[in-house]
Chain A
Amino acid sequence: MLKPGDPAPTFDLPCVIDGRIARSSLAKIDSELVLIFFYPRDFSFICPTEVTGFQRALKDFVAEQTFVVGASIDDVDSHLRWAAELGGISYPLIADDGAGLARSYGVFDEKENAALRATFILDRKRTVVFSTACPFNVGRSVSETLRIARALRTGQLCPADWTLGAGTGAIERKF
């Protein structure tokens, strides 16, 4: 699994956004940060809580100049029906149906034939600046991911449990 400091693998894959099929290319995303979250499968019961959670918080991520991308190994047809089932998704759901993207980020579980619940945040240079993974049976925290994006956006040192508006340290001190 990629860790902070690793260059992010690029992608140009079919996706579903706002009820239509499109393409999503990392090279064409013009945003300070890119949030990529992998989830195991469409038509499941924990994944939709995450997918709709990111949908609800989308405005907050956009406010932080963070472009949200979801990805699973399902194909675009599945994503299309799944997104409709969830009431519509306004960020790209990438169809990584060969699992190439999940493998390149080191988050494909061969035994389960699914991507881990892994989250990556990439900076402007498209270098990984944050990565984490949850087990299949535990959904990740959308609010914690947003907190991390906000902390990264300060460009400063942020202590434990830092929240928006709390004090930060000068980045020159490094740690």
Chain B
Amino acid sequence: MAAIDPAGKKRLFERLSSVREIVFGVQDGVLTTAGVLCGLSGAVSQHTQVALAALASTAAGALSMAAGAYLGTRAETEVLRAELELVRKDARQKPYVIKEGLLDELCKEGLTREAAYRIVQLLGTSPEALSSTAEAKMFGLAGTMMSNPALDGLVMGVAFLLGALIPLLPYMLIATPRYDLGGALVATAFTLFAVGYFEGWLAHRTDRWRSGTRFLAIAMSAAAAGYLIGLAISPLGATAG
């Protein structure tokens, strides 16, 4: 019989919470930069100006995404911590109410009232076990949901930066017009497909190619829209100049 390794699974789930930041950061970095390159290439003819603008956009984007992830996680963690504290206070001050609520939840999951009662009675012998089970079952709260804001911010910023460099490097290295943008788009497409494939692999899907293709299709649609918007607004630049 295969043994379950709870500690290993717990570590895996904690690491998986960073996967969200990595996937989001890389995808956003790749797409934003590709979008900027496409949009500016439609509007500005100078290769160097486009590259510099994309670099500036990358720096600003990485800092903004890191700050956003830090602030978002921090707010989420603070709210979660406050809610957990309220539940723990209730468990200490009104154990009967918490026990009744937990009993109802266990009954909803298919246990008989008597079986649920006995389980809650046992849990009640440890206030810690009672409150942690009540948090998870009654309110869907769990201590493991608490992320590290600084780590989330750092991971998001670095992921965005790495993602942004993927279309930017070929664009900067290839000086030939049209081939520069083409190289950037090929690198972007390959990376987006890889991120989708990676996501499918993480989710243990068998159709990882489809997962990669879907990710690529959605992301490239956004990039194409950016390019079209750039083309649409290019006459405004000519008028202003």
> Considering the chains assembled together, what is the distance between the CA atoms of A46 and B96 in angstroms?
6
> Considering the chains assembled together, what is the distance between the CA atoms of A78 and B112 in angstroms?
11
Residue of B nearest to A49 (CB): B96
| Cβ B97 vs Cβ A137 within 8 A | yes
Residue of A nearest to B94 (CB): A137
| Cβ B113 vs Cβ A46 within 8 A | no
Q: List 29 A-B contacts (CB under 8 A).
A: A41-B113, A42-B113, A42-B114, A43-B103, A43-B113, A43-B114, A43-B116, A43-B117, A44-B100, A44-B103, A44-B113, A44-B117, A45-B95, A45-B96, A45-B99, A45-B100, A45-B103, A45-B117, A45-B120, A46-B96, A46-B97, A46-B100, A49-B96, A78-B113, A78-B114, A136-B100, A137-B97, A137-B100, A139-B96
A20 contacts the other chain (CB 8 A): no
Note all chain A residues with C-beta closer than 8 A to B100.
44-46, 136-137
Going nearest first, the 3 A-B pairs with the smallest beta carbon separation are A43-B117, A45-B99, A45-B96
Note all chain B residues with C-beta closer than 8 A to A137.
97, 100
> Considering the chains assembled together, what is the distance between the CA atoms of A46 and B117 in angstroms?
12
Note all chain A residues with C-beta closer than 8 A to B113.
41-44, 78
Task: Give the size of the chain B interface in residues (CB under 8 angstroms).
Answer: 11
Note all chain A residues with C-beta closer than 8 A to B96.
45-46, 49, 139
**Would you list which residues of chain A between 4 and 53 have a CB under 8 Å from chain B?**
41-46, 49
Proximity bits, A109-139, B CB within 8 Å = 1, else 0: 0000000000000000000000000001101
> Considering the chains assembled together, what is the distance between the CA atoms of A27 and B114 in angstroms?
33
Note all chain A residues with C-beta closer than 8 A to B117.
43-45
A81 contacts the other chain (CB 8 A): yes
Residue of B nearest to A81 (CB): B114
> Considering the chains assembled together, what is the distance between the CA atoms of A137 and B103 in angstroms?
13
> Considering the chains assembled together, what is the distance between the CA atoms of A49 and B120 in angstroms?
16
Main secondary structure of the interface of A (DSSP, over half): loop
> Considering the chains assembled together, what is the distance between the CA atoms of A156 and B103 in angstroms?
45
Residue of A nearest to B98 (CB): A45
Note all chain B residues with C-beta closer than 8 A to A45.
95-96, 99-100, 103, 117, 120
Instruction: Say how far A122's CB is from chain B's closest CB, in angstroms.
Output: 29
Instruction: Say how far A138's CB is from chain B's closest CB, in angstroms.
Output: 9
Instruction: Say how far A89's CB is from chain B's closest CB, in angstroms.
Output: 17
Residue of B nearest to A43 (CB): B117
Note all chain A residues with C-beta closer than 8 A to B99.
45
**Would you list which residues of chain B between 100 and 131 have a CB under 8 Å from chain A?**
100, 103, 113-114, 116-117, 120
Instruction: Say how far B137's CB is from chain A's closest CB, in angstroms.
Output: 15
> Considering the chains assembled together, what is the distance between the CA atoms of A88 and B117 in angstroms?
18
Q: Contacts A41-B113, A44-B113 given; 17 further ones with Cβ under 8 A?
A: A43-B114, A43-B117, A44-B100, A44-B117, A45-B95, A45-B96, A45-B99, A45-B103, A45-B117, A45-B120, A46-B97, A46-B100, A49-B96, A78-B113, A78-B114, A137-B97, A139-B96
> Considering the chains assembled together, what is the distance between the CA atoms of A89 and B113 in angstroms?
20
**Would you list which residues of chain B between 68 and 98 have a CB under 8 Å from chain A?**
95-97
Instruction: Say how far B221's CB is from chain A's closest CB, in angstroms.
Output: 47
Instruction: Say how far A117's CB is from chain B's closest CB, in angstroms.
Output: 12
Note all chain A residues with C-beta closer than 8 A to B114.
42-43, 78, 81
> Considering the chains assembled together, what is the distance between the CA atoms of A42 and B100 in angstroms?
11
> Considering the chains assembled together, what is the distance between the CA atoms of A139 and B99 in angstroms?
14
Note all chain A residues with C-beta closer than 8 A to B97.
46, 137
Residue of B nearest to A78 (CB): B114
> Considering the chains assembled together, what is the distance between the CA atoms of A26 and B97 in angstroms?
33
Instruction: Say how far A87's CB is from chain B's closest CB, in angstroms.
Output: 14
Residue of B nearest to A138 (CB): B97
